[in-house]
Amino acid sequence: MPRYLFISDLHLEPERPDITRAFFDFLAQETPGIDVLYILGDLFEVWLGDDHLSEFNLSIIHALKKTTERGTAIYILHGNRDFLLGETFCRMSGCSLIDDYTTLDVAGMRYLLMHGDALCTQDTAYQQFRQQVRDPQWQKDFLTKPLAERLAFAQQARAASQQANAQKSIAIMDVTPQAVIDTLEKYPAQVLIHGHTHRPNIHHLQTRKGIAHRIVLGDWYEQESWLTIDEKGISTYEM
Ligand code: LP5
Ligand code: MN
**Which atom, in ligand 1's list, is nearest to the CA of 80?**
24
Position 86 scores a pLDDT of 98
**Which atom, in ligand 1's list, is nearest to the CA of 198?**
3
Tell which wins on pLDDT, 170 or 78.
78
Indicate whether 119 pLDDT > 90: yes
Query: pLDDT tens digits for 13-54?
Result: 999 999 999 999 999 999 999 999 999 999 999 999 999 999
Nearest ligand to the CA atom of 8? 2
Position 63 scores a pLDDT of 98
The protein residue with its alpha carbon nearest to ligand 1, atom 47, reads 153
The 3 state secondary structure assigned to the chain is CCCEEEECCCCECCCCHHHHHHHHHHHHHHCCCCCEEEECCCCECCCCCCCCCCHHHHHHHHHHHHHHHCCCEEEEECCCCCCCCCHHHHHHHCCEEECCCEEEEECCEEEEECCCHHHCCCCHHHHHHHHHHCCHHHHHHHHHCCHHHHHHHHHHHHHHHHHHHHHCCHHHHCCCHHHHHHHHHHCCCCEEEECCCCCCEEEEEEECCEEEEEEECCCCCCCCEEEEEECCEEEEEEC
Query: pLDDT tens digits for 1-19?
Result: 999 999 999 999 999 999 9
Position 239 scores a pLDDT of 78
Query: pLDDT tens digits for 172-231?
Result: 999 999 999 999 999 999 999 999 999 999 999 999 989 999 999 999 999 999 999 999
Position 238 scores a pLDDT of 87
Nearest ligand to the CA atom of 164? 1
Ligand 1 residue neighbourhood (C-beta within 6 Å): 46, 48, 80-81, 117, 120, 123, 125-126, 129, 133, 153-154, 156-158, 160-162, 164-165, 168, 173
Residues with CB under 5 Å of ion ligand 2 are 42, 79-80, 196
The protein residue with its alpha carbon nearest to ligand 1, atom 21, reads 154
The model's pTM is: 0.97
Q: How far is the CA of 126 from the centre of ligand 1 (A)?
A: 7
